[in-house]
């Protein structure tokens, strides 16, 4: 078995199926076979997750033949709890997407500082002793911050100093966006949202020592506020951002975490305005690098993961354009 589970493996595992796979791999290791590093992405729905693309692709590039990475349909707290309690030693960690990020944060025995501030986690890793054996406890982290930091590095020429950042949206991805802006040295953040729910981010922004402000997306001053910003980070669906894309693209740089459709209307608006822009595929790559390191101890390159995602997307687009050639297509 090399970087996978065989051609007859299900595309998406149930919790029960995953635990059965884990038990089989654990028994194989006990019988003297090469130990597997079993990981999974948890979510509902999870079928279209691109995490296997970056993790298995990176393992292949690094010559890691032991990584097995699958999708598991799981998101309820009871499902996450069962996986944490019953996963054997060969399980090296979980990537967590919606709706399980809150459960991952709440059920872990230990939580990193940044995950605690953000209030959710996208990474679960078993704590191991000095001999490398799992202790039975788990740590939760939020590597979405790393993904957004990679996006910021791609579009910012230098330290923003006292720069102003703009975050569009007030949902789950907006919180690691705030953390990434703080890590990059921004001094203030304006949150753009449809309602006063933007205030949900005030405590988080101020906890990092940054000034907080907010504005409705339909405010006449939208373009003026964006034009004064070093960067706009949009975390809302493509259609919503596209409706005000011209104003958002007035910022000096643009990050759009959405990658479906690709390119997004906001990305096109930013390119049309001559602004540097980074995308959700780069965010996915950036957060995946730190996950892979925590799972395996090896560190792939962000650029390598990004190339994997772009190549996968080109293949998917080609298959969609020629349905007759999709029999062996992937994700």
Residue 260: asked if its preceding bond is cis (omega within 30°), the reply is no
Rounded-to-integer distance, Cα 264 and Cα 290, Å: 26
Both tokens assigned to 78: 């009871």
CA distances from 321 to 316, 324, 325 (A): 9, 9, 9
- Looking at 71, 101, 114, 164, which residue is catalytic? 101
Q: Is 101 a known active-site residue?
A: yes
- Beta strand 188-193 pairing with 164-168: parallel
Cross-sheet strand order for the sheet of 91-96? 67-73, 37-43, 91-96, 123-128, 134-141, 110-111
The answer to whether residues 159 and 181 touch, using CB atoms and an 8 Å cutoff, is no
- Closest by CA position to 214, among listed 231, 190, 233: 190
Q: Across the chain, where does the E strand assignment appear?
A: 37-43, 67-73, 91-96, 110-111, 123-128, 134-141, 164-168, 188-193, 211-216, 231-234, 254-256, 277-279
- Residue in this structure with the two tokens 């996986």, named with its chain if needed: 83
Task: List all residues 6 or more positions away from 283 whose beta carbon is below 8 Å from its beta carbon.
Answer: 144, 147, 148, 150, 151, 255, 257
The answer to whether residues 299 and 293 touch, using CB atoms and an 8 Å cutoff, is yes
- Closest by CA position to 244, among listed 262, 219, 209, 207: 219
Task: List all residues 6 or more positions away from 138 whose beta carbon is below 8 Å from its beta carbon.
Answer: 84, 107, 108, 109, 110, 124, 125, 126, 127
In sequence order, the β-bridge partners of residue 124 are 94, 140
Instruction: Count other Cβ atoms within 10 Å, centred on residue 130.
Output: 5
Active site residues: 101
């Amino acid at each position: 078995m090399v970087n996978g589970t065989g051609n007859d493996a299900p595309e998406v595992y149930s919790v029960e199926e995953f635990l059965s796979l884990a038990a089989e791999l654990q028994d194989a290791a006990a019988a003297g076979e090469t130990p597997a590093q079993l990981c999974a992405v948890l979510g509902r729905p999870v079928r279209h997750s691109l995490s296997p693309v970056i993790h298995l692709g990176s393992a292949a590039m690094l010559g890691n033949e032991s990584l097995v990475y699958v999708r598991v349909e799981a998101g309820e707290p009871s499902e996450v709890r069962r996986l944490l309690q019953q996963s054997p030693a060969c399980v090296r960690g979980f990537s967590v997407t919606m709706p399980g990020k809150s459960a991952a944060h709440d059920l872990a025995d230990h939580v990193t500082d940044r995950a605690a501030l953000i209030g959710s986690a996208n990474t679960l890793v078993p704590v191991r002793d000095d001999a490398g054996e799992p202790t039975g406890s788990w740590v939760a982290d939020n590597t979405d911050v790393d993904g957004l930091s990679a996006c910021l590095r791609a579009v910012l020429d230098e330290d923003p100093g006292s720069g102003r950042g703009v975050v569009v949206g007030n949902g789950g991805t907006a919180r690691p966006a705030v953390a990434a802006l703080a890590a990059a040295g921004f001094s203030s953040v304006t949150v753009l949202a449809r309602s006063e729910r933007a205030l949900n981010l005030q405590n988080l922004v101020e906890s990092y020592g940054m000034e907080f402000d907010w504005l409705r997306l339909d405010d006449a001053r939208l373009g003026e506020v964006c034009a004064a910003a070093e960067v706009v980070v949009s975390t809302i669906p493509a259609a919503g951002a596209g409706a005000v894309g011209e104003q958002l693209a007035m910022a000096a740089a643009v990050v759009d975490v959405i990658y479906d459709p690709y390119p997004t209307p906001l990305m096109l608006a930013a390119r049309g305005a001559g602004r540097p822009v980074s995308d959700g595929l780069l965010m996915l790559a950036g957060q995946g690098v730190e996950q892979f390191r925590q799972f395996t101890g090896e560190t792939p390159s962000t650029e390598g993961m990004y190339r994997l995602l772009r190549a996968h997307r080109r293949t998917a687009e080609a298959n969609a354009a020629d349905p007759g050639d999709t029999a062996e297509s992937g994700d």
